[in-house]
């Protein structure tokens, strides 16, 4: 997502950093502002921030946001959500722009739904079985947490065993690009996942 500082972001458990979303900022000329640097004032290093709400134009060298939009680490960009400064007036941007920021998060949710739709489809029987297994382990944990731990460990063992052969077969059948598309990950994420499951070195 280019040069950026600290800001709130969203991820899903399945896609992780391959699809890290956030509220992006656009200036009036359509450009993306640089991160805002905040000096700690105590002699220690400050920090760079790209959180959308800091771009209110109220401080020196801090530009004013003209619009917000959802952005994703995969390169996807959502539609612009314009900010009406005539209506915002003296209110803080974090308050006045909250509605637009929420729209951005919903836009990113839609993007994630589109990503999920492009991934390899699991048979319904497998999906139902996984959901049922999660529910059963959750129920077991209510009455016996240690039994829940043992069940989770058994699940890890099964995942390691079946994941090994699945990763090895995927490496044989597909290129990294094809595997990444099928899994909804970027190439780096797919490479890391397959190497972890298949027990081979990333350097190999």
Q: At 191, give phi and psi (nearest 5°).
A: -65, -45
Same domain, 27 and 90: yes
Q: How far apart, in whole angstroms, are the C-alpha atoms of residue 137 and residue 91?
A: 48
pTM of the predicted protein model: 0.86
Same domain, 149 and 91: no
Task: Answer whether residue 154 is part of any domain.
Answer: yes
Task: Answer whether residue 148 is part of any domain.
Answer: yes
Same domain, 107 and 151: no
Task: Answer whether residue 204 is part of any domain.
Answer: no
Same domain, 107 and 128: no
Q: What single-letter DSSP state applies at residue 104?
A: H
Which three-class secondary structure state does DSSP give residue 6? strand
Same domain, 60 and 110: yes
Task: Answer whether residue 1 is part of any domain.
Answer: no
| pLDDT of the residue at 59 | 82
Task: Answer whether residue 10 is part of any domain.
Answer: no
Same domain, 107 and 169: no
Task: Answer whether residue 67 is part of any domain.
Answer: yes
- Here the tokens at position 43 are 């002699």
CA angle 110, 20, 93 (to 5 degrees): 80
Tally of structural domains, the chain: 2
Question: Is residue 187 scored above 80 in pLDDT?
Answer: yes
Same domain, 143 and 189: yes
Residue 40 lies in domain: 16-118
Averaged confidence pLDDT in the chain: 93
Q: Report the pLDDT averaged over residues 147-174.
A: 97
Same domain, 102 and 130: no
The answer to whether 58 touches 92, Cβ cutoff 8 Å, is: no
Residue carrying the six token digits 């990294």:
176
| pLDDT of the residue at 6 | 87
Least confident of 3-12, 37-46, 122-131, 193-202: 37-46
Same domain, 146 and 189: yes
Q: What is the tens place of the pLDDT at every residue in 44-94?
A: 567 889 999 999 988 888 999 999 999 999 999 999 999 999 999 989 999
- Here the tokens at position 78 are 């959502």
Q: How far apart, in whole angstroms, are the C-alpha atoms of residue 74 and residue 80?
A: 18
Last residue of a domain, one of 78, 95, 118: 118
Last residue of a domain, one of 96, 118, 140: 118
Task: Answer whether residue 36 is part of any domain.
Answer: yes
Q: How far apart, in whole angstroms, are the C-alpha atoms of residue 134 and residue 159?
A: 14
Last residue of a domain, one of 92, 118, 144: 118
- Here the tokens at position 68 are 């917000």
Same domain, 160 and 97: no
Question: Is residue 112 scored above 80 in pLDDT?
Answer: yes
DSSP string, 130-194: HHHHHHHHHHHHHH-HHHHHHHHHHHHHHHHHHHHHHHHHHHHHS-HHHHHHHHT--HHHHHHHH
| pLDDT of the residue at 2 | 52
pLDDT over 70, % of the chain: 95
């Amino acid at each position: 997502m280019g040069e950026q500082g600290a800001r709130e972001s969203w991820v899903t458990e399945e896609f992780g950093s391959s699809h890290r979303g956030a509220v992006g900022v656009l200036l009036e000329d359509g450009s993306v502002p640089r991160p805002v640097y905040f000096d700690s004032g105590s002699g220690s290093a400050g920090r760079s921030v790209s959180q959308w709400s800091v771009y209110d134009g109220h401080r020196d060298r801090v530009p004013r946001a003209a619009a917000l939009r959802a952005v994703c680490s995969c390169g996807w960009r959502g539609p612009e959500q314009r900010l009406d400064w005539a209506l915002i007036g003296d209110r803080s941007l974090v308050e006045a722009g909250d509605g637009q920021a929420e729209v951005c998060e919903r836009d990113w949710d839609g993007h994630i739904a589109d990503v999920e739709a492009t991934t390899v489809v699991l048979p319904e029987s497998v999906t139902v079985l996984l959901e049922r297994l999660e529910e059963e382990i959750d129920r077991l944990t209510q009455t016996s947490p240690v039994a829940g731990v043992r069940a989770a460990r058994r699940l890890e063992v099964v995942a390691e065993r079946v994941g090994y052969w699945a990763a090895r077969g995927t490496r044989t059948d597909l290129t990294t690009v094809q595997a990444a598309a099928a899994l909804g990950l970027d190439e780096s994420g797919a490479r890391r996942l397959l190497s972890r499951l298949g027990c081979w070195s990333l350097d190999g």
